Structure 1
């Protein structure tokens, strides 16, 4: 069996929606990979440049809730502000939540190549430590 790299993401087959998996050595890295996986399901960033930076805070909660909070924010900002993250940095916040920083570009600066996610499904949500660090799997409603 081929060994996976220490950090990464992929799409996996799913009947009607889109399912992503992400992994990294730590929780925050896994959340950042999940953001990249989400955006990679429907965007081609070729030629896109960073237009702005952004930061937000996810309040404390269970680890799966933190992941969903970050992914929901990506979808919300795409729909309301027309922006998408080109790169994502996630740090643990002092209160137990997460601080997320993005370099972003406008939705008009990228090519849509897949179905745009409308929401994060809680069905079969998985996020937590595993033998090699952290991993998660999320179904995106499209």
Structure 2
């Protein structure tokens, strides 16, 4: 049986919405993988180049709340600014929250390949540390 790489993400079958899974050795890496997984569900970023850098902070909270906060920010900025993250860097903040930096492009610079997520569902949300690092699973309402 093949082992999965130490860091990555994938889309998994779900009846009506989209479900993503992400994993990494650390919490911050897992959040970054989840952002990439979310973006991969609706656009093809092949050939796109970053046009701007966006930074924001998610205040401290439970780990699942931090993940949801970052993913909701992706959806919010897509809807309000047309920003699509091409690369994500996540660091722990001093208050226990997260500092997030995205290298973004406009939604007009990428190809739409799926339904754009409208929200992150809290149903069956999973995010935490396990024996092989951090992992999470999220359902996206489309």
Q: TM-score range by the shorter chain?
A: over 0.9
For the residues of structure 1 that align with 2:103 and 2:15, how far apart are their CA atoms?
32
Q: Deviations over 1:71-108 (max 9, x none)?
A: 00000000000001000000000011000001000000
Gaps of 5+ in 2: none
| Runs of 4 or more consecutive aligned structure 1 residues displaced over 4 Å after TM superposition | none
Instruction: State the alpha-carbon separation in 2 of the partners of residues 78 and 131 from structure 1.
Output: 34
**Which ranges in structure 1 are unaligned for 5 or more consecutive residues?**
none
Question: TM (normalized to structure 2)?
Answer: 0.99
TM-score by length of 1: 0.99
1:121 positional shift: 0.1
Q: What is the aligned-residue RMSD (CA, Å)?
A: 0.4
Aligned residues: 142
What is the distance in 1 between the residues matched to 2:6 and 2:112? 28
Q: SS in structure 2 opposite 1:134?
A: strand
Distance 1:35 1:136 in 2: 11
- 1:95-138: CA deviation from partner (whole Å, max 9, x where unpaired): 11000001000000000000110000000000000111000000
Matched with 1:78 is 78
Q: How does 1:37-56 map to 2 (within 5 A)?
A: 37-56=37-56
